[in-house]
Each structure stands twice: as structure tokens, then as C-alpha cells.
Structure 1
């Protein structure tokens, strides 16, 4: 008589888990579904000469869906230029952050030197400092060295916030790697750099992917630096153009939704492609071995 009760208990538990998972899924993808529906809902323009002056409200089930909003997005706004700027800055920040963080983390883990603990505390404090505190120093420095309104300046600015976080992540990850592998390679004649490149980096690939993706996403979504450190469309990024849509009067729901959806897709696709490595990298770096 105990077996049916156990089966009934497991059945009820599975149903509750399925209901909870479905609720979380709907809650998570609900905004994206709403964005897609709004993006394919035609604009009811109040003035045909100014297609961004719309007087319609968003309908959840459009009767005549079309991709006119996407066409209007690329026709009336240099969206592809903003997209390219975001890709250049986010990718540059990711590469720079990974180089600095991986080298720094390897040094902290494998070498013992005076002031090591103080440097680690300084890195932690640097990560906790709000980005807005760095704006005035960065503006002054970039103006003096000619990096204002440049891709390089934006990459360096973004790295000030991403590098400390990825450094701490990689320190924890490198700490889980056995030293014996590196010692064996050094016995065979490999130097520190070769050991790092041939042994440590391949073994740390999940951690590097996790740190790189987080640095990329942080830069892709950052509005503050892109808004205050740039002044021309040649460098401005996607969050800036999305702010312009939000300030429109009246709101342009369809074009705004199209831009928001296209801005979100790259990060979502990257996460879906590398989610296993991202999760394993974060999990392995969370606890020292």
C-alpha cells in the first residue's frame, strides 16, 4: 500500500514543479513576446510626413501584422551604426578585460608578493565603486589625452568596471586548477608564459567564457558611459538611441519595440549558445577547490 502513495506523492511534486517552471518561463519570456507583438503592429501615424508621430496604442493581437516598423527603424535612424558601435566597444572591452584579468588573476594565484592581500582588497573596492564616481576623472583624463568621443576611450572606460569583477572571478577559478600540471610542464622546459598559454588557459576556458560574456553584457547594456563620454553618432551605442525613442512625444511603440528587440537579440543568442560554459564557469569559480 505504500508504493501507490509514494507514486502519488512524486506525481503531485512533478505537477507542482511543472507549474512553477511554466510560470517562471512565461514571466521570463513575456516581455520579449510583448516586444515582438508591438514591433509587428503597424503604426497609426498622425502625420504621414513625420512617421514617428504616432497616436495609436499598442494592441496585443494585431489584425494586420507587418515588419514596417523594422523598415522604418533602419530608414529613419542610423540603427546599424549604433549597433556596430555597441559591437565594437563591447567586444573590445571583453578582449581587454580578459587579457588584463587573466594575467592578473594568474599572478595573484601563483605568486606570493608583498602587498598581495592589499591589492586584492583594492580590486574588490574598485568593483564596488559606482560608475558615476569615475565619470569626472575619466572625462578629464580622456580630454587631456584625446580619447574623448572615441571607441578606444569607451573600451577603456568600460574596462574600469568590468576588469575588477572578472579578475575576482578568474582568481577563484585559477585557484581550482592543480599546480602539479604546471610544475610538470615547467620540468619539461616550459616557461611561465608558455605554461599559461598551453596549460592554464585551455583548462580555464569555461571561466574565461563566463568572464568574457559578463564583460560583454555589462558593456552592451551600459548607458551611462555611452551617454556622457560620446557626443556624435560615430561612437554612440544602442542604449543611447533607445533613450531617444523613450523621450519621443508621443511614444513610438512599434519602432521602439523593434529597436529594443534587435538590441536584445545578440545578448540572448550569445547566452543560449554558451550557457553551459557560462554556468560551469560561474559554478567552478564560486568555490575554491
Structure 2
């Protein structure tokens, strides 16, 4: 039984890793050798694709846009989610149950159904093809999950922590920032990583809500390498590798907090 499970896990791992391996190896091949017949798994590596990307100001702008948008969305989402989760976890107020249901319901709405309404809204507000328009749209996609997760995490923290801080003269907000937030770092890191990954990898809204190349993000930049009659596969793979690096690095350094936050946040709601 154990051998069968091990073989199944190994096959699953190979199925997941092989496309990534093909992407990395292809990024070091000339475009003409990627689909060579017979296939070449390993060949003389070349950094030509990476050099062309890193020396192209337009492609560098794609990465800067992604960093700006994803970083801003992450910071704002975490800030708003912490405040909202604290209110949901520690206070009773009129309409709390209704608001909570609305937030949870937002998770069930397919994002593609919001595409046309958001497009019209951004044009009406003159936020089309702007950073604020993209950031606000992404926050609508990330905030429900962030609030739900952090509310569940705050619910696992004993109220005695708040009471002890209040007895020491701290206000409710003082107890939040001095006591609850430091204790909730695993949950906050988990939400921040999730938010960053969503904003970094998002394609549909980035394509619809921007029109000029100086506003495009990395996923759209990869698509722009697809020509009408030919694809620049080596640069596509190289940009995909470069685009994967930030998320991989963040997950490697914060995976302990990420897994701990996901587990703790799901214990109690």
C-alpha cells in the first residue's frame, strides 16, 4: 500500500514538475531549437533571451508595473483586511451578519462575470488604463478571502489579550496593533502571499483595463510576444521564468508562516 502511494505521489510530482522543467530549459535555447526534431532536452545553453528582455526598456516596464500593482494591492488589502477582520471578530454592530454574507458571497462570483461591469465603471470614473483602476479592481478580488481568513485567525486569539491591553491603558486600536497584529503574523503573511500571487499572476483584468504597453503587466507582456505568424518561444519562456521568481522566493522564505496561517485560520470562524 505504501509503495503504491509513493509511486502515485512520484508520478504526480513528475506531472507537475516536467512542464516547469521544460519552461526553464527552453528559456536557455535558441528559438529555432525549442521544437527541434528529435526533441532536445539539453543543448548548449544561451542567455540571449534573458539579455534581450533585460535590455529592453518596454519589457522592464512590464515587471515594474507588476511590482507596483501587486505590492500596492498587497499592502492595501492587508491593511483593510486587518481592520475589517478585527471589527468582525471583536464587535457586534447592526448589519454584521448581512455584510459577512455579502463578503462570503463575493467568493462565489466568477471574476469573468464582473469584467464588463468593471470596464464600464473604470471608464466612467476615468480610471481606465491607470494604476489606481487596476489596484482597486484587484482589491475587490482579494479582499473577501483576506477578510474571511483574518477574521477566522482573530477568532482563535483569546479576548483576554485585548482585555489585558485595555487594563494597561491601551485603546482598542492600540490592542490591535500592539498585541493582536504581532501575534497574528502567520495569518497576515499567509494573506499577503495569497494576495501578491493573485495580483502578480492576474491576466484577464490586466488585459481589459489597460490599453497602452507602458501600463501592461508581466502576464500581458508574455502574450505580446505572440506574433501573428510566429511566436518568440525562448523569450516567452525566459519572461515566464523571471515572472515566477518573485513568487517562488516569497513562498520559500515565508512558507512556514503561510502554512501555519492557513491552518490556524481554518480552525475557528
Whether the TM-score (by the shorter chain) exceeds 0.5 is yes
CA distance in 2, matches of 1:109, 1:129: 24
2:203 paired residue number? 223
Tell me by how many angstroms 1:149 deviates. 1.2
Tell me by how many angstroms 1:141 deviates. 3.0
Does the residue aligned with 2:215 lie in a helix, a strand or coil?
coil
Q: Report if aligned partners of 2:58, 2:214 keep a CA contact under 8 Å in 1.
A: no
CA distance in 1, matches of 2:156, 2:252: 26
Deviations 1:29-56 (A, max 9, x none): 2222111111111233xxxxxxxxxx86
Q: Report if aligned partners of 1:207, 1:280 keep a CA contact under 8 Å in 2.
A: yes
Deviations 1:250-278 (A, max 9, x none): 22221111111111111111111111100
Deviations 1:113-165 (A, max 9, x none): 12211111100112222222323333333233332211121111100010011
Confirm or deny that 1:239 pairs with 2:219. Answer: yes
1:3 paired residue number? none
For 1:139-178, what aligned pairs fall within 5 Å after superposition? 139-178=119-158
CA distance in 1, matches of 2:107, 2:127: 23
Tell me by how many angstroms 1:19 deviates. 4.0
Deviations 1:192-219 (A, max 9, x none): 1110000110111100000111011011
Q: Report if aligned partners of 1:38, 1:60 keep a CA contact under 8 Å in 2.
A: no
1:259 paired residue number? 239
CA distance in 1, matches of 2:115, 2:169: 47
Confirm or deny that 1:104 pairs with 2:92. Answer: no
Confirm or deny that 1:137 pairs with 2:117. Answer: yes
1:31 to 12, 15, 19: 19
Tell me by how many angstroms 1:63 deviates. 3.2
Structure 1 unaligned spans of 5+: 1-11, 45-54
Point out the more displaced range, 141-150 or 250-259. 141-150
1:57 to 32, 35, 53: 35
Q: Report if aligned partners of 1:94, 1:216 keep a CA contact under 8 Å in 2.
A: yes
CA distance in 1, matches of 2:249, 2:54: 21
1:48 paired residue number? none
CA distance in 1, matches of 2:152, 2:114: 26
For 1:44-123, what aligned pairs fall within 5 Å after superposition? 44=32, 57-58=35-36, 59-75=39-55, 78-123=58-103
1:6 paired residue number? none
CA distance in 1, matches of 2:107, 2:77: 13
For 1:201-212, what aligned pairs fall within 5 Å after superposition? 201-212=181-192
1:41 paired residue number? 29
The count of corresponding residues between Structure 1 and Structure 2 is: 267
- Residues 199 and 57 (structure 1 numbering): CA distance in 2 closer, same or farther, change over 3 Å? same
CA distance in 1, matches of 2:215, 2:261: 32
Tell me by how many angstroms 1:72 deviates. 2.5
Deviations 1:209-241 (A, max 9, x none): 001110110111111111011111222101111
